[in-house]
Amino acid sequence: MNSWRGACGDFAGVDSVHVLGFTDRMPELLAAADVLVHSTGGVTCLEAMAAGTPVVSYGLPVGHARVNTRAMAALDLVRLANDTAELRDQVRASFSAAESAREVAAAAGEEPAAVDVVLGAPRRVRPIPRWRLRAVAIATQALLLVGLGTWIMSTDEVTAVAIRILRVQPLASVKTDRPDVSVIVRMPAADVPGVAALFAGRGVHLSFADDGRVPSPMTVASVRSLGDEVLPEVPGLAGLRWVRTRADLRSQARALGLRHRFYCLQPRGGLTVGQLVLARTAGATPVAGAIRVSATAPLPQRQTRAGDVLVVELDGSSASVTGLARIVSWLGSRGLAVEPLSWLTRSPSISASSSGERTSAAAPATSNASEAASGTPPRGVAAKLSPSSDSASVTGTTV
């Protein structure tokens, strides 16, 4: 305060000197000044440097202020004057430096502000459009859903759940009061007529399936003339072949003259969810069989009951045909006659079995007589007729 009053008195008559007291206009004063003479290297000097005003330090006090100022002078941040002569020289040098800086700036043009340089910096990474990010997210979710749905439809891990939801059980046996069983022979299509003729000649009538192939009209006519039948079959799994289940079953059904609802043999490993759903939409009821064996394998250890459906697999060799004859004789020794599936489901007192090891399955309805002759379950219960001779229904028939 005293120094301010002294300065006011010393320069009271000098018009070019203005002595200011406390002010909050320091940024404006420093920006307008050519040089700042200050006794320390404190915050005022930093403000001057920010404004681009040269700083001359003169009249250093003792203590840390002197140490700080000398350190700043060593870094060329301020000019240091130890006496009045050096003060005069340093002020003049500051004027010359400021003038040179202004000339260089004028020649080069006005430099952009730091904020403009930062905001105008080129992007190092090209931004991804938002619509593309959304499209990728939607596509990813769609792929996950498709992948999950494909897995569910292509696996048999959750088929049991689908069976409960659709309320359909693959047919394994039929409850009947007659001592009959049905044998479905799965074998190559080319060998079907010969095997059918061999066993029909000995009074044994069978159902046949040939790996889901569409049977030829000649094969169908030959088998039916012997009193046997050909069943549609769900093809085995091969990649995404299950998507053709409905088309394959419909093609076989048309070749066999079947309409609306009919039975079909399921693969050895069971149906996937996709096969089960598509088979049902095609009007087919799958047949699993109570026993499924190879004709050349040992005889089944499971007790066979009236109404059971047996699936026997043949490879067309003479050994497999002999094995089929052995199975028929084994059934006959237990007092069971062998009949095609359609005849078994038309036998009197028929009802679906739901107890023990038997799988419940109501017999679907048929639409006409041609379907009944082609392995199609009937609408109601009709008297059982022997297809060729009375010997076909005799208990204990052997080959």
Other C-beta atoms closer than 10 Å to the C-beta of 303 total 9
Provide the pLDDT for residue 135.
Answer: 85
Q: Letter for the amino acid at 394?
A: V
User: Bridge partners of 183?
Assistant: 310
Angle between helices 192-200 and 217-225 (to 10 degrees): 10
Provide the pLDDT for residue 170.
Answer: 83
Q: How many whole angstroms separate alpha carbon 39 and alpha carbon 61?
A: 7
Contact 196, 208 (CB under 8 A): yes
Tell me which residue of 355, 358, 303, 299 sits closest to 323, measured CA to CA: 299
Contact 223, 229 (CB under 8 A): yes
Report how far Cα 80 is from the mean position of its chain's Cα atoms: 75
Provide the pLDDT for residue 336.
Answer: 93
Provide the pLDDT for residue 99.
Answer: 62
Q: For residue 398, with 0-12 CB atoms within 10 Å meaning exposed, 13-18 middle and 19 or more buried, which class applies?
A: middle
The first and second tokens of residue 211, run together, are 């790996």
The first and second tokens of residue 294, run together, are 């190879």
pTM of the entire predicted model: 0.52
Q: How many whole angstroms separate alpha carbon 228 and alpha carbon 197?
A: 9
The CA-atom distances, in angstroms, between 388 and each of 133, 202, 217 are 72, 11, 21
What φ, ψ does residue 47 adopt, rounded to 5°?
-65, -40
Q: For residue 98, with 0-12 CB atoms within 10 Å meaning exposed, 13-18 middle and 19 or more buried, which class applies?
A: middle
Contacts 24+ apart (CB under 8 A), 241-250: 242/153, 242/154, 242/272, 242/274, 242/275, 242/278, 243/274, 243/278, 245/274, 245/275, 245/278, 245/279, 245/282, 246/278, 246/279, 246/281, 246/282, 248/212, 249/278, 249/279, 249/282, 249/284, 250/282
Provide the pLDDT for residue 354.
Answer: 30
Tell me the mean pLDDT per 10 residues along the chain, length 399.
63 77 83 82 81 83 79 82 85 73 56 65 74 82 67 54 63 89 93 93 92 88 93 77 83 88 86 80 88 91 90 92 94 93 68 33 37 38 33 32
Provide the pLDDT for residue 213.
Answer: 85
The pLDDT tens digits for 189-210 are 899 999 999 999 999 999 999 8
Other C-beta atoms closer than 10 Å to the C-beta of 298 total 9
Provide the pLDDT for residue 12.
Answer: 72
Tell me which residue of 57, 62, 56 sits closest to 93, measured CA to CA: 56
Provide the pLDDT for residue 142.
Answer: 76
Provide the pLDDT for residue 374.
Answer: 39
| HSE-up (13 A, CA, CB side) for residue 231 | 33
Q: How many whole angstroms separate alpha carbon 141 and alpha carbon 145?
A: 6
Q: How many whole angstroms separate alpha carbon 391 and alpha carbon 216?
A: 29
Other C-beta atoms closer than 10 Å to the C-beta of 294 total 13
